[in-house]
Structure 1
């Protein structure tokens, strides 16, 4: 007998057929749907798959009273689900760790390169009309020269921006050595970087197997040229990156955050940049999104800001996430041991 499945993420035709072998499927589009409506539309299913929709205690209790046995949240960290309510009802919570790992890793290393080589400053300068020559009637008409270069006059990019740098030979500090941090470390090793890593919950011997140096926070911050944050938001990590952290970093160091803004005290970061305690930052996440238009970080030339887009790839939402969700569903239906079950409680 097929299981009843309520799902909030779209599946391809091929994926639908694969799941349909095991389940009677109810697909719900949840755009701007209230929690109450979500609760009613998915009620009565043995398996429920959510993503960004909130499911609190009242919703979970109602679902549990009407046959829910397995809830899957199609995110790495299921922040929109009341974990404790599920635990109290004895219902496992499947999640999708690493679904956005490739996307965020590539984005993170891209930010390192952009910031270190000052690509953002050059792009903005060109776009805003700096560093440019006079207008020409025919831009395709030019005199060929052996050496084509911008000049070294006052106001040229070479004089105003100064030297960039190379990843090669530098030290990167990875704070949080989970699915994303570990992959960032691997790519940084390919650039011939020294990798230091801090994660009190990850085995040191496995870090060493990866070629990373297990480190204390203090050693990592004092020795890293680039500090890259890959922490979840927990009671332990919330606001943990503060004045003390930035005071330990090199004045030449760069700070990268593609994880969550809540782990950083924003006043401390702004102060560190204004007082030149660090050389620059690249941020894809903010304390309030959209970020207020008058936020001081937006006016700093040595800060790259992007609108929480590191994981915004086709592959994250249509390949990796669906693969993990379907694996959850099939394992449950076949009675196989469950993997990627959320174990943390609030």
Structure 2
């Protein structure tokens, strides 16, 4: 309220990319609503100018992971922005240096558990046993049209035996799979304690029945899996990518799938997200396609949004937490 009793509009918090429409029910926002107007955007806004129009009056923006990018030019176009809160403590889609130069505080959240390994194993089973096709067939009146391998006795190749690759290996071993792994710096000594055999890149792609990718996206891993690697794979082998789309050469993968040089691919990540409606991957039957839901659970969302509320209130009180 201004001097003289004139009411002033409260500043705006904008929550981006709330695809499932659960942001406001995943946490108690009442204390934030006492101080701010909240706008929730459920759809993704890929057009920069349209995004600027939606955010130009926002003092605080909440970003879900890397769904919306915040490069320097976008940040410069948002002079009202003072706080940017992202889920997770790492977000490669935000130009942190540009944010600091502009005086924008960037905060993050911790996670809850680790849902990616279980999703990866679920995708492997669903892909190899044709769950999606059989479900569609049953709903259409059919019965038993496909056949696929079990996991026991087969070989899982893990590209990246780190924070995510290691628990995937452990789960695969529970299904009696043999696990081999490769990454540029993996040694036999590091792999052995996990019951995993470190192999060469060529051996991994040639010998695996299923290959799963668990590497971060960087300039060195962009296009890491290319046509030469896919050419080494057995015609009966499957590729699963739950890390980042650009780690796999998309055109090379499309060609391998179209020509049936590999049995199939399970993808939770893509070069462009959301996946364009006319993308050729949508037409291929030897794929299992998920909409980047590896981290999407009720538990993780509750943690994300509860900590986002904490971050907003702490910043409002002059003591921001979980700074990036």
Query: Which TM-score applies when normalising by structure 1?
Result: 0.66
1:124 aligns with 2:139: no
Structure 1 CA distance for aligned equivalents of residues 201 and 103 of structure 2: 37
Report the counterpart of residue 267 of structure 2 in structure 1.
Answer: 283
- Indicate the RMSD between aligned Cα atoms, in angstroms: 4.2
Tell me which of 200, 211, 214 is aligned to 1:230: 214
2:19 corresponds in structure 1 to: none
**CA–CA distance in structure 2, aligned partners of residues 304 and 37 of structure 1:** 34
Offset, 1:287: 3.7
Pairs aligned (count)? 297
Deviation at 1:112, TM superposition (A): 0.8
129 and 181 in structure 1: CA distance in 2 versus 1, 3 angstrom threshold: same
Q: Residue 63 of structure 2 corresponds to which residue in structure 1?
A: 50
Distance 1:216 1:326 in 2: 46
1:170 aligns with 2:154: yes
Partner of 1:34: 51
CA distance in 2: counterparts of 1:207 and 1:328, whole angstroms: 38
**1:30–1:53 contact (8 Å) kept in structure 2:** no
Tell me how far apart the structure 2 counterparts of residues 212 and 80 of structure 1 sit (CA, whole Å): 33
Distance verdict in 2 for CA 1:255–1:60, change over 3 Å: same
Which whole-Å deviations, capped at 9, do the CAs of 1:261-294 have from their partners, x for residues lacking one?
2222222113223443322222233344444447
Q: Find the structure with the greater CA-based Rg.
A: 1
Distance 1:13 1:167 in 2: 36
- Residue 28 of structure 1 aligns to a residue in which SS? strand
In 1, Cα distance between equivalents of 2:28 and 2:126? 38
Q: How does 1:298-337 map to 2 (within 5 A)?
A: 298-300=283-285, 302-317=286-301, 319-322=302-305, 325=308
Flag the 1:34–1:166 CA change in 2: closer, same or farther, 3 A. same
1:218-297 maps to which residues of 2 (within 5 A)?
Answer: 218-288=202-272, 289-293=274-278, 295=280
Q: Is the 8 A contact 1:8 1:27 kept in 2?
A: no
Residues 86/313 of structure 1: CA separation in 2 closer, same or farther (3 Å cut): same
CA 87–195 in structure 1, closer or farther in 2 if over 3 Å, else same: farther
Q: Does 1:186 align with 2:170?
A: yes
Q: Report the 3-state secondary structure (helix = DSSP H, G, I; strand = E; otherwise coil) of the residue aligned with 2:158.
A: strand
- Residues 1:212 and 1:15: Cα distance change in structure 2 (over 3 Å): farther
Within the alignment, does 1:106 sit opposite 2:118 as a pair?
Answer: yes
Match in the other structure for 1:140: none
For the structure 1 residues 329 and 215, does the alpha-carbon distance in structure 2 shift closer, same or farther, using more than 3 Å as the test? Answer: farther
Unaligned runs of 5+ residues in structure 1 are 132-156, 342-346
CA–CA distance in structure 2, aligned partners of residues 60 and 98 of structure 1: 26
Q: What 5-or-longer segments of structure 2 have no aligned partner?
A: 1-10, 17-22
Residues 26, 306 of structure 2: 8 Å contact kept: no
Matched, 1:115 2:132: no
**Contact map agreement 1:75 1:99 (CA 8 A) in 2:** no
Take 1:41 and 1:218, find their aligned partners in 2: how far apart are those partners? 50
Contact 1:35 1:55 in 2 (8 A): no
Question: Residue 135 of structure 2 aligns to a residue in which SS?
Answer: helix
Find the aligned partners of 2:69 and 2:251 in 1 and give their Cα distance. Answer: 30
After superposing the two structures, state which structure 1 stretch, 271-280 or 237-246, moved more.
271-280
Q: Which residue of 2 aligns with 1:143?
A: none
Over 3 Å counting, the alpha-carbon distance change for 1:98 and 1:53 in structure 2 is: same
Query: Where does residue 6 of structure 2 map in the other structure?
Result: none
